[in-house]
Chains A and B, each alone.
Chain A
């Protein structure tokens, strides 16, 4: 039963990706990205990372994706841009991606991962994550907060300058 759900979510994640990569209409790409992210959230839940899944939905989709869509809408005036570069550029990209994909798949399947013998029952993880965040990983947590603050200020500054046409 879990295999089925698992395969559903895999398809849910992979298929829209092709739209994101290839579609000539940027709006379609944005919305297909939405679906991929939902797929990934589902996979997280399947992997017992319920807290991460919820975060994925709220932050990633609710925050970042909305932002991107907002960006797309802002810049969507006038003619539709030819979305990808001329042929030779694409061909080279495809070949490169293929090679790297092959290498990754090879390594994923071939190596003997030290998989745990028995998979523990997935329990609620948010309490444990909370402890970890404010215990062992306190410093990264603080640094992340500083990073976000910096990004915030940076974004405001850049946006403000552009608006005033400097």
Chain B
């Protein structure tokens, strides 16, 4: 494929990718109410589809460039921020960078995004403010593309918080329902906590590089960062910890906020309050993966901070396991999928933690396919049953064949059954973890075991979900059963497309044992730092094959157990739950995490707020009023004292003058002569006075 499009031409079209969805958002947002609904749908979907086409064109242009290390296009738009001073300057450009990593993400965002836009047309039919919905969805696509295509960290931060805003707007889309609005707010504030970490990391990075390079580094462009990153090692560590690690950890805090990892994941389960396509698009495929993308984009930083990498890996692994355990006991179909997303994200961070960047991205891509499919499937189920609770579903296999089939494809993929993409990417991660040589001896092996166990749990709770939803008899009451219907084609087409992708998806990153080229790894090569330990050194193929078999075994046992519990002997879960009542209850209540956070952060903050409010009201204001009262009293005192002493004297004086006045009054006789006399006397006296002296 010689380059169909010459790179220069493509470079000028880069800005179209994010700006088309932005245009769609503006049109729908401002004029939406007046446009007919069909036009709103068309504008919404078309803008994302066009962006997808341009991304594909970009992809091929990149492929066209032979020399792998030249495979990137940068389009600087305009000077964004410029402050100059003597020792240096801080200048940032608004520029888009298209390189293998960002084009992969672009394709996922626009491709899956378009399918979900299509699906939303069906799902949101009948909702009265569709224009606003599509405007927000397009705005989200714009922010995500901005995040992915940004060429410097601050512009990425703009996209980073932009997606946070859109997730807030979309989660609280049906804002008339107060608790949905609260979920939106919770999401935004938790994201904001993460962004705090991101921003501090950004500042620390800039100034360390600025001082290190004494003034030559002036911006945060990735190219500039990549070249000057060794300066971090020379910078003096703070509190004994190397600067690279500090920065890595701070960025990771941002990532946990955005990609819902252990400390800051609490907002994702509540985010299910938004419409299901939103959950599929934002809270499964794109936004939550921003954290992973950011770490992979800054791989050159993390590579020189092994401690930070270890932390990422551990947090990823633990989150994966932790979320999987909670998913076991959830009855709301969307919450199960939410926790499963957190768990899969944990896997991605595990992969990135062990420096298997391309594998992390590979799992990100495959996860986008099957998780979006799962959510959309759940969406069409909810659309039919009008409730999220799995206990009211069951036996939908008969009523919704298409949804069932596509759902099964995704189910098999996520559970890790061989040919499907889920298996390939997850196994690749386990393999990379097994081979990884993290600073702590044996940590790699421990994490691998944890990952394996989580894979089993994943298989189990996915089987539980499928069993409760599609198998057995419909538990949702007879009259509801009557009008159970398959979703319209506009909804099932995306399901099928995604099903194909989740089945075939595995092909782009085949493991070494198959002796076939790992397309994605080679494609991403130049972007990732050279010594990415993605396990392609010479190693015993038999070991990889053995591990693969083990993971297949674990997956099948998980499925069997799930089938056993929920299909063959439905009473079994009740007995098990009874025996481990306490443990079950803890899981069921999501380890009481929400309550702990409430007690640990929210309530003290509110107390502090109330305190400062009162403090301000009566202390400072009080002080001011107090001072006014004191001066008032003091002035009264002076007034009293003044009244008695000074006043007395003054009055006495006044008396004297009054008497003299009375005396002099007689002089004013009214006769003119007397006045003339006094005049003449006066003058005469004056003359005498002048004469004598």
Contact = CB atoms under 8 A, between A and B. Distances in A.
Direct contact of A and B (CB under 8 A): yes
Interface of A: 85, 89, 92-93, 96, 99-100, 103
Q: Considering the complex of A and B, which 9 residue pairs feature the smallest CB-CB distances, nearest first?
A: A100-B684, A96-B680, A85-B673, A89-B673, A103-B687, A96-B677, A100-B680, A96-B681, A99-B684
Contacts of A89: 673
A105 to B, nearest CB: 14
Contacts of A85: 673
Contacts of B680: 96, 100
Contacts, number: 14
A131 to B, nearest CB: 35
B567 to A, nearest CB: 121
Interface string B647-684: 00000000000000000000000000100010011001
Interface residues of B, number: 6
A91 to B, nearest CB: 13
Contacts of A103: 684, 687
B672 to A, nearest CB: 11
A100 B681 CA distance: 10
A99 B673 CA distance: 18
A146 to B, nearest CB: 26
Contacts of B687: 103
Nearest to A89: B673
Interface secondary structure of A, over-half rule: helix
Nearest to A92: B677
11 contacts: A85-B673, A92-B677, A93-B673, A96-B677, A96-B680, A96-B681, A96-B684, A99-B684, A100-B684, A103-B684, A103-B687
A103 B681 CA distance: 13
B11 to A, nearest CB: 89
A26 B118 CA distance: 126
B675 to A, nearest CB: 13
Given A89-B673, A92-B677, A103-B687, 11 more contacts: A85-B673, A93-B673, A93-B677, A96-B677, A96-B680, A96-B681, A96-B684, A99-B684, A100-B680, A100-B684, A103-B684
Interface of B: 673, 677, 680-681, 684, 687
A89 B673 CA distance: 9
A156 to B, nearest CB: 24
Contacts of B681: 96
B673 to A, nearest CB: 7
A89 B687 CA distance: 23
A92 B678 CA distance: 12
Contacts of A92: 677
B678 to A, nearest CB: 11
A28 B673 CA distance: 22
Contacts of A99: 684
Nearest to A99: B684
B602 to A, nearest CB: 86
B6 to A, nearest CB: 96
A87 to B, nearest CB: 14
Contacts of A100: 680, 684
A64 B545 CA distance: 144
Nearest to B681: A96
Contacts of B684: 96, 99-100, 103
Contacts of A93: 673, 677
Nearest to A96: B680
A103 B689 CA distance: 13
A89 to B, nearest CB: 7
Nearest to B680: A96
Contacts of B677: 92-93, 96
A93 B676 CA distance: 10
B496 to A, nearest CB: 110
Nearest to A104: B687
A90 to B, nearest CB: 10
Nearest to B683: A100
Nearest to B676: A93
Nearest to B674: A89
B376 to A, nearest CB: 103
A121 to B, nearest CB: 36
A99 B680 CA distance: 12
A95 to B, nearest CB: 11
A85 B684 CA distance: 23
A72 to B, nearest CB: 18
A90 B681 CA distance: 15
A90 B673 CA distance: 11
A89 B674 CA distance: 9
A102 to B, nearest CB: 11
A99 B687 CA distance: 13
A96 B680 CA distance: 9
Nearest to B688: A103
A73 B314 CA distance: 130
Nearest to B684: A100
A93 B672 CA distance: 13
A163 B673 CA distance: 27
A71 B681 CA distance: 29
B423 to A, nearest CB: 117
Nearest to B687: A103
B141 to A, nearest CB: 89
Nearest to A85: B673
A10 B677 CA distance: 28
B144 to A, nearest CB: 90
A96 B681 CA distance: 8
A89 B677 CA distance: 10
A49 to B, nearest CB: 27
Nearest to A100: B684
A85 B673 CA distance: 10
B669 to A, nearest CB: 11
A80 B687 CA distance: 38
A114 to B, nearest CB: 19
A32 to B, nearest CB: 21
B386 to A, nearest CB: 99
Contacts of B673: 85, 89, 93
A92 B687 CA distance: 20
A99 B681 CA distance: 11
A21 B687 CA distance: 25
A48 B300 CA distance: 121
B544 to A, nearest CB: 121
Nearest to A97: B680
A92 B677 CA distance: 10
A85 B680 CA distance: 18
A100 B684 CA distance: 7
